[in-house]
Amino acid sequence: MLRLLHTSDWHLGHTLHEFSRAHEHAHFLDWLLDSIDGHDIDALLVAGDVFDTANPSAEAQQAFYGFLAKARARRPRLDIVVIGGNHDSAARLDAPDPILRSLGVHVVGGLPHTRGVIDLDRVIVPLKGRDGEVAAYVAAVPFLRPADLPTPEDGEDPLIDGVRRIYEQVLEGARARRSGDQALVAMGHCYMTGTQLSELSERKILGGNQHALPVDIFPDDVAYVALGHLHLAQRVGNREHVRYSGSPIPLSLDEERYRHQVLVVELDGPRLGKVESLEIPRAVEILRVPKEPRPLDEVLVELAKLAAHDSSLEEWRRPYLEVRVLLDKPRPSLRHDIDKALENKAARLAKTTVKQTGTGAALGDVGSMKSLRDTSPEEVFRLLYGSKHEGEPAPELIEAFHELVADAEGALA
């Protein structure tokens, strides 16, 4: 039996509305080390997006390489395989490869190939069992950029069929190396059909939604496929063995409802045994008040009910807060009112979401709209107000608008 731990999308160096996530990532990495020990893991698979940006901070890099050093010290037999994602710099991940490989850490930042010939020794990684013998081979294919794909043949989709041909080549190379009792495992950082995307923090990659990859890219003899890119942990279609592990922490406020996890995968010879999800303890709570936008007066009542600040609570553990307001008219004092309500509260304001009660129509979409030449500034103002708010603007607002128009005309005179 070979026991793998599948994780992805760490996004080290991420900030959430200007708040650093360094402490949350440190909390996760410590938990991950304990989980590797506690579940007697043989190999760790990290399926891309190690970093949040192609140029990560020194702090983010220190977190990654510090984790690798601790993992090697605690589990000398542990195989570690890391592939690059669309957020990562392939060159930056690949640069320390000679050193890392000597430590038993195999990193494939970008697809290693010359004139279309893939360096199979880099992308096919043997995983050893507890007896020291090779128990599986991993096709460690990183995020594929259009320049990595082969020239399409007649009638081929240049993206989908190009990706398919790369996996065919790598998997065929792995088959040639394995014996009958050794498993085939694949890794990828991509967007598959039949999956759920988090619009606020994930990008549709490799040509967009129309180029989501079909699951039959991975043949039936592949025992397990460890995917990265989507932050919601999920199977691909009805394939038990093709999975996204999801991100370890929420990367947008919209991911508050996600059950963040890693996956423990047991391989029984060449076949999949079972997959177990380990839920990751959330270090910092996310609050969205209220659950749906409500008028400001009601929102302020809800904010008053929030827990008071506890000076013994570490600053980084204070909850993130999204305030959701329904506005029926302009509220110049909106931020001041919210800040006042949050005085001495534990929650940290990360975002204010405003939903307006108007039609939302652009001026050009208003059927009765005359040409601008025949429309007075006040008419334009009233139409714009109606697109954002119900009813008519207050008389004092109209008066203030006319004062602005007069000032503008005077400046142009």
Give the domain ranges of the chain: 2-279, 286-357, 361-413
CATH superfamily of 2-279: Metallo-dependent phosphatases (3.60.21.10)
Q: Is residue 357 within 8 Å of 328, Cβ to Cβ?
A: yes
Region 128-137: mean pLDDT is 94
**% residues pLDDT > 70 (the chain):** 91
Residue closest to 120 by CA, chosen among 175, 170, 187: 170
Span of 131-145, 153-167, 184-198, 369-383 with lowest mean pLDDT: 369-383
| Three-class DSSP labels, the chain | CEEEEEECCCCECCEECCEECHHHHHHHHHHHHHHHHHCCCCEEEEECCCECCCCCCHHHHHHHHHHHHHHHHHCCCCEEEEECCCCCCHHHHHCCHHHHHHCCEEEECCCCEECCEECHHHHEEEEECCCCCEEEEEEECCCCCHHHCCCCCCCCCCCHHHHHHHHHHHHHHHHHHCCCCCEEEEEEECCECCCCCCCCCCCCCCCCHHHCECHHHCCCCCCEEEEECCCCCEEECCEEEEEECCCCCCCCHHHHHCCCEEEEEEEECCEEEEEEEEECCCCCCEEEEEEEEEEHHHHHHHHHCCCECCCCCCHHHCCEEEEEEEECCCCCCHHHHHHHHCCCECCEEEEEEEEECCCCCCHHHCCCCCCHHHCCHHHHHHHHHHHHCCCCCCHHHHHHHHHHHHHHHHHHC
> Is residue 362 very low, low, confident or very high in pLDDT (cuts 50, 70, 90)?
low
Span of 145-154, 183-192, 366-375 with lowest mean pLDDT: 366-375
∠110-113-114 over CA atoms, to 5°? Answer: 140
pLDDT attached to residue 209: 45
Q: How many CA atoms lie within 13 A of 148 on its CB side?
A: 20
More confident residue, 147 or 23: 23
Which residues, 6 or more positions from 310, have their beta carbon under 8 angstroms from its beta carbon? 346
Residue closest to 145 by CA, chosen among 222, 209, 89, 224: 89
Whether the per-residue pLDDT at 206 is higher than 80: the answer is no
Residue closest to 186 by CA, chosen among 154, 152, 142, 249: 142
Q: How many CB atoms lie within 10 A of CB 44?
A: 22
Residue closest to 289 by CA, chosen among 272, 306, 311: 306
Q: Is domain 286-357 classified as CATH 3.30.160?
A: yes
pLDDT attached to residue 202: 53
Cis peptide before 290 (omega within 30 of 0): yes
Whether the per-residue pLDDT at 376 is higher than 80: the answer is no
pLDDT attached to residue 237: 86
Both tokens assigned to 191: 């967007």
Both tokens assigned to 288: 């969205």
Region 192-213: mean pLDDT is 61
Beta-strand pair 239-244/261-268: unpaired
Chain segment 33-55, per-residue pLDDT in tens: 999 999 999 999 999 999 999 99
Q: Is residue 174 within 8 Å of 139, Cβ to Cβ?
A: yes
Q: How far is CA 260 from the centre of its chain?
A: 11
Q: Is residue 45 within 8 Å of 85, Cβ to Cβ?
A: no
Amino acid at 357: T
Q: Is residue 69 within 8 Å of 29, Cβ to Cβ?
A: no
Beta-strand pair 183-189/224-228: parallel
> Is residue 407 very low, low, confident or very high in pLDDT (cuts 50, 70, 90)?
confident
Both tokens assigned to 378: 């006040």
Span of 94-108, 125-139, 185-199, 257-271 with lowest mean pLDDT: 185-199
Q: How many CA atoms lie within 13 A of 132 on its CB side?
A: 0
Alpha-carbon gap, residue 7 to 64, rounded angstroms = 14
Residue whose token pair is 């059950």: 259
Alpha-carbon gap, residue 330 to 389, rounded angstroms = 8
